[in-house]
């Protein structure tokens, strides 16, 4: 049976998962796919920390050139994360004629333009199934399964840390901080959780989904990104009372000839499947012209879940390598009907708004007066408590308004003397 040699760069959590699967499922896989996948070398700068799998010392190296310069290695798996030196390693490997498998969404979101072009130029592939939704085969679905479709929009819950925190808040009445501590304790949040809770990781993943669906590699700067660190338990609960769940959504939405690309906490109706995606689970909801509205759901984190995706990429590549072919199966094409990205100011949305106001007559008249001046109409309003002379929350849902106009209105409202805290506005999506 033909053997395909793999070099693994990055022997961390997912890396050792990959080694574990390839070892424990050696015959299972080779019987299935007719090729033997052989890990020929593993490179990591840290060869001391104990892994949950032991490997022959001869496999290990600290020198990445032992992989990149080895002509017998066909595929390089990059699992070190971050931009540098991951970028240097992958581009050198491509130049040496190797195919790449990576889980590195940050790398592809930021340096994808250069790396994909290089791969194309060298007749090699970069596969990245593990970069979004861990073991959910969403990348394959978009690039192959739905290849004949034009896409309208994507709504993704793609960050497990944030979804775990929001679920804890909603299900167990935890504050954000308590939920975050809990996530850290359970290993669902990193020591420094910024990338996750501030929406940046979601934006990286959204970039890749947008690339596959619309053919454009959007700059991170062009994505509106708002994380969940400002979501309060009160808003989670008020939203629930109104029939909504707050989820951190990665959104790409085609509106006329423009594309909206944004990441932010979003109220979605409880009746929608996405609102039932809890804990570390991820789900990607896509709408397209032929296959309609689809949802892909599964655990978005976990060593073996991500490693499952890495191995599926490896299988596809080894089957190609064995056949001696280059199949440009990313199947990416620029959607020419999109003329530009829509600026955040210009997007239209319904909003959930919470004002903290004095409980006295005329407050609502003042607020709604300002909103009216900006042409914003109110769908519903509830004062949550009665506490005369105290500050009370007024929860409002407004009909479609332009972001810019809403911001201007809120700025004025926030300066009213009956308003005692900065108002909270959270976007809503019908999905």
| Catalytic machinery residues | 205
- Return the closest-CA partner of residue 157 out of 195, 206, 110, 109: 206
Going by C-beta distance under 8 Å and a sequence separation of 6 or more, which residues neighbour residue 112?
A: 207, 208, 211, 217
Binding of a second copy by 1 (CB under 8 A): no
Q: Which of 36, 61, 181, 331 binds a second copy (CB under 8 A)?
A: 331
| Interface positions, 255-274, toward a second copy (CB under 8 A) | 271, 273
- Return the closest-CA partner of residue 199 out of 237, 233, 236, 161: 161
Q: Which of 82, 243, 328, 362 binds a second copy (CB under 8 A)?
A: 328
Binding of a second copy by 338 (CB under 8 A): no
Instruction: State the nearest-atom distance from the C-beta of 2 to a second copy, in Å.
Output: 13
What phi, psi does 263 have (nearest 5°)? -130, 125
Instruction: State the nearest-atom distance from the C-beta of 134 to a second copy, in Å.
Output: 7
**Shorter beta-carbon distance to a second copy: residue 228 or 310:** 310
Instruction: State the nearest-atom distance from the C-beta of 338 to a second copy, in Å.
Output: 14
Binding of a second copy by 82 (CB under 8 A): no
Q: Which stretch binds a second copy (CB under 8 A): 2-10, 201-209, 226-234, 287-295?
A: 287-295
**Shorter beta-carbon distance to a second copy: residue 308 or 349:** 308
| Interface positions, 14-33, toward a second copy (CB under 8 A) | 21, 25, 28-29, 31-33
Token pair in block for residue 257: 């000839």
**Shorter beta-carbon distance to a second copy: residue 237 or 329:** 329
DSSP-assigned letter for residue 335: -
Instruction: State the nearest-atom distance from the C-beta of 283 to a second copy, in Å.
Output: 8
**Shorter beta-carbon distance to a second copy: residue 281 or 355:** 281
Binding of a second copy by 154 (CB under 8 A): no
SS3 (DSSP) at 147: coil
Instruction: State the nearest-atom distance from the C-beta of 25 to a second copy, in Å.
Output: 6
CB of 393 closer than 8 Å to CB of 354 = yes
**Shorter beta-carbon distance to a second copy: residue 299 or 393:** 299
CB of 141 closer than 8 Å to CB of 200 = no
CB of 203 closer than 8 Å to CB of 225 = yes
In angstroms, the CA 387 to CA 384 distance is: 10
CB of 363 closer than 8 Å to CB of 387 = no
| Interface positions, 32-71, toward a second copy (CB under 8 A) | 32-34
In angstroms, the CA 152 to CA 292 distance is: 10
SS3 (DSSP) at 65: helix
Residue whose pair of structure tokens reads 């094409």 in the numeric block: 333
**Shorter beta-carbon distance to a second copy: residue 55 or 294:** 294
Instruction: State the nearest-atom distance from the C-beta of 377 to a second copy, in Å.
Output: 31
Token pair in block for residue 58: 């001869």
CB atoms closer than 10 angstroms to residue 276: 12
CB of 405 closer than 8 Å to CB of 375 = yes
Binding of a second copy by 333 (CB under 8 A): yes
- Return the closest-CA partner of residue 203 out of 194, 369, 429: 194
Binding of a second copy by 297 (CB under 8 A): yes
Binding of a second copy by 294 (CB under 8 A): yes
| Interface positions, 99-138, toward a second copy (CB under 8 A) | 129, 134-137
x/- site string to a second copy, residues 298 to 317, per CB under 8 A?
xx--x-xx-xxx-xx--xx-
CB of 32 closer than 8 Å to CB of 12 = no
**Shorter beta-carbon distance to a second copy: residue 146 or 223:** 146
In angstroms, the CA 207 to CA 141 distance is: 16
Determine the angle formed by the axes of helices 200-214 and 105-122, rounding to 10 degrees.
Answer: 30
x/- site string to a second copy, residues 172 to 191, per CB under 8 A?
--------------------
**Shorter beta-carbon distance to a second copy: residue 134 or 209:** 134
Token pair in block for residue 8: 């693994």
Kindly list the residues in this chain that would bind a second copy in the complex (CB under 8 A): 21, 25, 28-29, 31-34, 129, 134-137, 140-141, 144-150, 271, 273, 276, 283, 288-299, 302, 304-305, 307-309, 311-312, 315-316, 319-320, 323-329, 331-333
């Amino acid at each position: 049976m033909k053997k395909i040699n793999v070099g693994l760069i990055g022997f961390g959590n997912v890396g050792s998962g990959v080694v574990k699967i390839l070892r424990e499922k050696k015959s299972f896989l080779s019987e299935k796919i007719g090729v033997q996948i052989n890990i020929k070398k593993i490179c990591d700068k840290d060869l001391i920390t104990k892994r949950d799998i032991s490997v022959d010392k001869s496999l290990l190296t600290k020198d990445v050139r032992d992989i990149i310069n080895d002509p017998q290695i066909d595929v390089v798996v990059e699992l070190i994360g971050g931009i540098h030196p991951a970028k240097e390693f992958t581009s050198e490997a491509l130049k040496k004629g190797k195919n790449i498998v990576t889980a590195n969404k940050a790398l592809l979101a930021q340096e994808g333009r250069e790396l994909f072009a290089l791969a194309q130029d060298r007749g090699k592939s970069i596969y990245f199934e593990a970069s979004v939704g861990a073991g959910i085969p969403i990348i394959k679905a978009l690039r192959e399964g739905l290849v004949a479709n034009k896409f309208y929009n994507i709504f993704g819950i793609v960050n497990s840390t944030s979804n775990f925190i929001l679920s804890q808040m909603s299900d167990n009445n935890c504050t954000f901080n308590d939920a975050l501590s809990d996530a850290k304790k359970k290993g669902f949040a990193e020591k420094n959780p910024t990338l996750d809770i501030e929406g940046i990781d979601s934006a990286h993943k959204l970039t890749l989904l947008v690339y596959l669906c619309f053919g454009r590699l959007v700059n991170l700067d062009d994505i509106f990104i708002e994380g969940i660190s400002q979501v309060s338990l009160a808003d989670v609960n008020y939203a629930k009372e109104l029939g909504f769940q707050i989820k951190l959504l990665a959104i790409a939405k085609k509106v006329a000839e423009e594309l909206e690309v944004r990441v932010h906490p979003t109220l979605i109706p409880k009746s929608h499947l996405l609102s039932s995606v809890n804990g570390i689970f991820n789900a990607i909801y896509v709408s397209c012209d032929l296959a309609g509205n689809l949802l892909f759901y599964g655990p978005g984190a976990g060593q073996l879940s991500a490693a499952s995706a890495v191995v599926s990429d490896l299988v596809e590549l080894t089957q190609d390598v064995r056949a001696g072919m280059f199949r440009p199966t990313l199947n990416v094409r620029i959607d020419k009907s999109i003329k530009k990205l829509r600026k955040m100011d210009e997007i239209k949305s319904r909003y959930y708004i919470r004002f903290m106001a004095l409980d006295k007559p005329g407050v609502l008249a003042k607020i709604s007066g300002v909103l009216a001046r900006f042409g914003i109409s109110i769908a519903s309003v509830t004062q949550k408590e009665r506490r005369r002379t105290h500050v009370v929350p007024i929860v409002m849902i407004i009909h479609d308004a332009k972001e810019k106009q809403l911001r201007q209105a809120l700025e004025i409202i926030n300066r009213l003397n009956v308003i005692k805290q900065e108002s909270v506005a959270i976007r809503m999506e019908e999905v």
